[in-house]
Structure 1
Amino acid sequence: MQKEQRRFTREFKQEAVQLVKTGGKPMAQIARELGIADSTLYEWCKQSSEHGEQAFPGSGHQTPQEEELRRLKRELEVTRQERDILKKALGVFSRSQL
């Protein structure tokens, strides 16, 4: 049985990062007080420093790179389906000529 993954709001993550920056307490202690893993808080701080205001976009609000990747994956899937259909059609038409 798998443990359900908890989800945190963007505001919660931003406030947690702000506590690390201004709290004067060790990151591990802040994480314990918030009830999250040290590594989770570390990742949030890393994302915040790398992306600034664009950090924690949330579901449905992807970064431009993620959006482009999703679009390209979908385009690749459509192209593969078209290729498979053409392969099958070629097989059908080449059999009927014999």
Structure 2
Amino acid sequence: MAKKRRTFSKEFKLEAACLVLDQGYSLQEACRSLDVGETALRRWVQQLELERNGETPNAKALTPEQQKIQELEARINRLEREKSILKKATALLMSEEMNNIR
């Protein structure tokens, strides 16, 4: 039977990475105590290091600051798409009105 994939909350990932970065646990010690794979924990630690250096990750952010940045970037992207649609609609309406005047 296939092994079921486990999922972890952002809070768990943050705490696990903090064990390694802030509390002096080795990667292997933290993996054993948390029953987490080494690859996953290494990825979380690297992501937290990047976030602490101010880089916005491609994956879901761990720190609240980076989470807010990701939310704001998504909002900016959505607003820019809406603005583009409105520009195109305005141009279309203006061209139709110009054709009706002639």
Question: Shorter-chain TM-score: which interval?
Answer: 0.5 to 0.7
Compute the TM-score of the two structures, normalised by the length of structure 2.
0.56
Structure 1 residue ranges, 4+ long, deviating more than 3 angstroms after superposition: 33-37
Q: What root-mean-square deviation, in Å, do the aligned CA atoms of Structure 1 and Structure 2 show?
A: 3.5
State how far apart, in whole Å, the 2-side matches of 1:72 and 1:11 are.
26
Unmatched runs of 5 consecutive residues or more in structure 2: 53-60
Number of matched pairs: 86
Amino-acid identity (%): 18
Compute the TM-score of the two structures, normalised by the length of structure 1.
0.58
Equivalence for 1:47: 47
Q: Deviation at 1:44?
A: 0.5
Unmatched runs of 5 consecutive residues or more in structure 1: none
State how far apart, in whole Å, the 2-side matches of 1:24 and 1:69 are.
32
Asked if structure 1 preserves the Cα contact closer than 8 Å seen for 2:13 and 2:44, the reply is yes
Asked if structure 1 preserves the Cα contact closer than 8 Å seen for 2:27 and 2:38, the reply is no
State how far apart, in whole Å, the 1-side matches of 2:83 and 2:15 are.
44
In the alignment, structure 1 residue 86 sits paired with structure 2 residue 90: yes
